[in-house]
Structure 1
């Protein structure tokens, strides 16, 4: 009689789940029910998940039967993942956090969702975000009380980080990061224009991969298309690499994917080698330790950096320190206003293109002006308590096809690419750059370069509390996680995965943090001993705990002001 040790979903891996599924230790239906119960346990506190898929259990059963009859499709067969609520699906709402799109429907899934499903992944639900990808309001870290906050949306409420009851989760892929950290699914999909994957991944102590724009298709995803990209989050580099492998590749719905310089997408897991840092030339652009968002590398991160230099050097890396961005001063001074020109134009164009494709549009939202008016008049949108300065700027944006918009993009990209990242890489013959994640994303976004966040450390006891501008979330506190970013030239994700994996294996930082809330439901709580088929379970409870219902469609944010929406 075989003794089976079940994986613990708070810190399991894709290979552990597939081993269990392939051996028959548990089914995908068991896995879905367990994850749903975990969401039910904690979501009223953290507001990470907006909606769970009503067909998730049914889909799991079908995939279990397919596995039994025909074998498995690959590593993601029957494994639940979550997606950000700005990525279109036909079986769940895609609201980007606003009631303006509540009840709206679209005729097909986004290509990244199609690829997940084709790989056998179970799209378990959607995750909360900073509304409209942080495009609605003024900068969430400035001093104005009427700004919104990272991780807040009208439809999803306020997402909180899991290392303090009032932790700012960063954004905009806030729910994806928090859900991944808590093990509410094995992994999650997010998207990023500037920091929306990397920064929340850092604050949730998970791995985030922001790919080169064009490596993954962006169709039916609400984000600016010149620099926007769809990426992934997981608890480990290897699992994030596995998910990136699924969603990457050329796509007829996104012409930007024609820029991919190789014919076939590699299995990015194959680059996960402990020895990868040996001989790698890693640069540190210290003149970029302050960015346009006001983030500055502090003493805690500087101390972590010195330790990191020692660790990497002992692993055989050649550390080039400093490896300055040659034109960073120019980028820092001149790029903000020019970035707004193309980001606002692209956001407006993409939004209006998206709503034009809706097959059902109950609120009759067709333009940015319609969205502005709706936001002002729908009480659940919390205007004017949360301003709409960002949307007002977008409303006035130029056409995305205006030559001056492309000119602004090309100028900023030149400063960021030749003047910063490529300039440093070529001058010092580097394989990659590293920066604290809080200051890593802005130049990389403008240059259209990939970034990977790896858990790096936690703020020590006695750290002073630092509140956001709205005064409702803690930006910094004792036990706040922070991340390290690996940055490379376009389409060098394979290199960054190799180096970040090696660093992750050397440091194991994620294991050191202490979450204030953790779901306790595990597989053995939902398994029925009668289905084990000659398998004896360790620590099996005497009574099975069942999650109510197999067809569940729940909007999981519930606050008094949001139960009823007046439109």
Structure 2
């Protein structure tokens, strides 16, 4: 690390002192500046404009989010750790700002990381007590990019333990380290998995942006279920290094936010690509062609919402045509067996870099001997099946993965070509089910699979509500078409205007399933 010279140290200390005073004095200008912010709706460009005008500092913004976590998160259990260095990072950003050395749009912006993303200075647990000791030796590649961009690492978000790849019937949002994450809209409802804490924290305005991870649905489903935006990037655009894995063939980290603009800016930072935020601000639906994959199995209320969504998009100048996605049954047959083999390979490689269980076999033994790991559900059937799965050198496995890649890509490519589409839309999620450790999840949600298996991008934006519960619309496009998808998503977001703040209702009764 480069040594700071004496003037830099003096500036940093002064900023820390001011930030500390501001954060602790109830009547201070810092509190007033933060109190004037509508954290629910403010965007990163608006925050940076306030900062440039001298109306806000990163220290004030960061302190406001830390206060809100302390006040609101006891209802949610969405944050596992806050970062003791967050205010110092914010003060350092403010010092850079005064010197005119801004690193980009994310400089000074608080970011919450899913707790399966390695950080050298904070625990990274994947929700498991097996990793709850010493932090990793190095940052994940995407965390290095965030630090280089000047972002403030606010803390770690709760998640479905091991990204929901442990038990045959898990409960999304539960981990032995963090407990159960609740849906901010209705607290006894589930936030979906596995980036559940990232999504719930955003919905409750506990951070400006968050990073989730997805193998199949774990960014977009929590986003839809909690009424925020989630982007599953094209495979390979964001580094997989230092992220607790399921499968290198499908895993990717992705940005989440309360709006598409912030999502686009965060994607640019973690991928090193040019930001599409400016295009997203001016994007339009006029002349766009969108295929609607209805998925009526998600229920009549969701289907009715998709009908209303299509009507609004048509009124904005888009052409919406109904489509069916081919090859889905075969994808469903092949995906899980392939993931078992890939998980065994990839988790063994990751565990070898950490203190604790050294491989999957030792991890299974750990869970058997630690009752806290069984306090919601005891099963680890997926671990056991992965241990017995064929290796990834096996010809049968190789044939499965080759067929998966071929059919998933053809599913999207052929549908888009046949109808000359700019994107395919589908419901992201059903209304949230009640959380129940004994029953487990009710989450057979097929819309995420084509993009997840193919490695193509997908984006969930709020579409509306079924009663008190949010539902998203999922947009998919061709490989590496992330910028165009984010631009289209911003236009869809503006037209639907579907976001509303959660009310933290204890319960709404009714059925536990769709």
Question: TM-score higher than 0.5 here?
Answer: yes
Question: Per the alignment, do residues 385 and 216 of structure 1 end up closer, same or farther by CA in structure 2, a change over 3 Å counting?
Answer: closer
Offset of 1:275 from its aligned partner?
A: 4.6
Matched, 1:153 2:175: yes
Whole-angstrom CA distance in 2 between matches of 1:170 and 1:338 = 23
Please list, as runs of the form range in 1=range in 2, the aligned pairs for 1:261-272 lying within 5 A after superposition. 265-272=273-280
Q: Tell me if the contact between 1:7 and 1:16 (Cα under 8 Å) persists in the aligned partners.
A: no
Consecutive unaligned residues in structure 1, runs of 5 or more: 139-146, 250-264, 291-295, 461-478, 519-567
Aligned to 2:75: 45
Whole-angstrom CA distance in 2 between matches of 1:320 and 1:335 = 24
Matched, 1:237 2:237: no
Offset of 1:383 from its aligned partner?
A: 6.0
Question: Per the alignment, do residues 204 and 385 of structure 1 end up closer, same or farther by CA in structure 2, a change over 3 Å counting?
Answer: closer
Aligned to 2:455: 448
Question: Per the alignment, do residues 54 and 517 of structure 1 end up closer, same or farther by CA in structure 2, a change over 3 Å counting?
Answer: farther
Q: Tell me if the contact between 2:171 and 2:377 (Cα under 8 Å) persists in the aligned partners.
A: no
Please list, as runs of the form range in 1=range in 2, the aligned pairs for 1:325-474 lying within 5 A after superposition. 325=325, 327-328=326-327, 331-332=328-329, 334-358=330-354, 361=355, 363=356, 365-382=357-374, 385-418=377-410, 420-438=411-429, 439-460=446-467
Whole-angstrom CA distance in 1 between matches of 2:283 and 2:92 = 41
Report 1 or 2 for greater relative contact order, CA contacts < 8 Å, sequence distance ≥ 6: 1
Q: Tell me if the contact between 1:6 and 1:20 (Cα under 8 Å) persists in the aligned partners.
A: no
Deviations 1:461-507 (A, max 9, x none): xxxxxxxxxxxxxxxxxx11110011111111122112211111112
Aligned partner (choices 56, 76, 79) of residue 26 of structure 1: 56
Q: Tell me if the contact between 2:176 and 2:375 (Cα under 8 Å) persists in the aligned partners.
A: no
RMSD: 1.9
Aligned to 2:511: none
Question: Per the alignment, do residues 383 and 165 of structure 1 end up closer, same or farther by CA in structure 2, a change over 3 Å counting?
Answer: closer
Aligned partner (choices 261, 277, 280) of residue 285 of structure 2: 277
Aligned partner (choices 481, 499, 503) of residue 515 of structure 1: 503
Aligned partner (choices 195, 209, 214) of residue 187 of structure 1: 209
Aligned to 1:204: 226
Consecutive unaligned residues in structure 2, runs of 5 or more: 1-31, 430-445, 507-514
Question: Per the alignment, do residues 370 and 218 of structure 1 end up closer, same or farther by CA in structure 2, a change over 3 Å counting?
Answer: same
Whole-angstrom CA distance in 2 between matches of 1:354 and 1:104 = 15
Offset of 1:273 from its aligned partner?
A: 4.3
Whole-angstrom CA distance in 2 between matches of 1:352 and 1:492 = 32
Offset of 1:340 from its aligned partner?
A: 2.1
With structure 1 as the length reference, what TM-score do the two structures score?
A: 0.78
- What secondary structure sits across from 1:454 in the alignment? strand
Whole-angstrom CA distance in 2 between matches of 1:202 and 1:32 = 26
- What secondary structure sits across from 2:156 in the alignment? strand
Q: Tell me if the contact between 1:151 and 1:175 (Cα under 8 Å) persists in the aligned partners.
A: yes
Please list, as runs of the form range in 1=range in 2, the aligned pairs for 1:81-120 lying within 5 A after superposition. 81-120=111-150
Moved over 4 A (4+): none
Matched, 1:500 2:507: no
Question: Per the alignment, do residues 202 and 385 of structure 1 end up closer, same or farther by CA in structure 2, a change over 3 Å counting?
Answer: closer
Q: Tell me if the contact between 1:376 and 1:383 (Cα under 8 Å) persists in the aligned partners.
A: no
Whole-angstrom CA distance in 1 between matches of 2:274 and 2:88 = 32
Aligned to 1:562: none
Q: Tell me if the contact between 2:203 and 2:502 (Cα under 8 Å) persists in the aligned partners.
A: no
Whole-angstrom CA distance in 2 between matches of 1:335 and 1:89 = 34
Equivalenced residues, count: 457
Offset of 1:384 from its aligned partner?
A: 8.4
Q: Tell me if the contact between 2:331 and 2:408 (Cα under 8 Å) persists in the aligned partners.
A: no
Whole-angstrom CA distance in 1 between matches of 2:94 and 2:189 = 39
Aligned to 2:236: 214
Whole-angstrom CA distance in 2 between matches of 1:123 and 1:378 = 31
With structure 2 as the length reference, what TM-score do the two structures score?
A: 0.85
Whole-angstrom CA distance in 1 between matches of 2:58 and 2:483 = 30
Offset of 1:380 from its aligned partner?
A: 1.3
Deviations 1:185-227 (A, max 9, x none): 1010000001000000001100000111111111111121101
Question: Per the alignment, do residues 385 and 486 of structure 1 end up closer, same or farther by CA in structure 2, a change over 3 Å counting?
Answer: closer
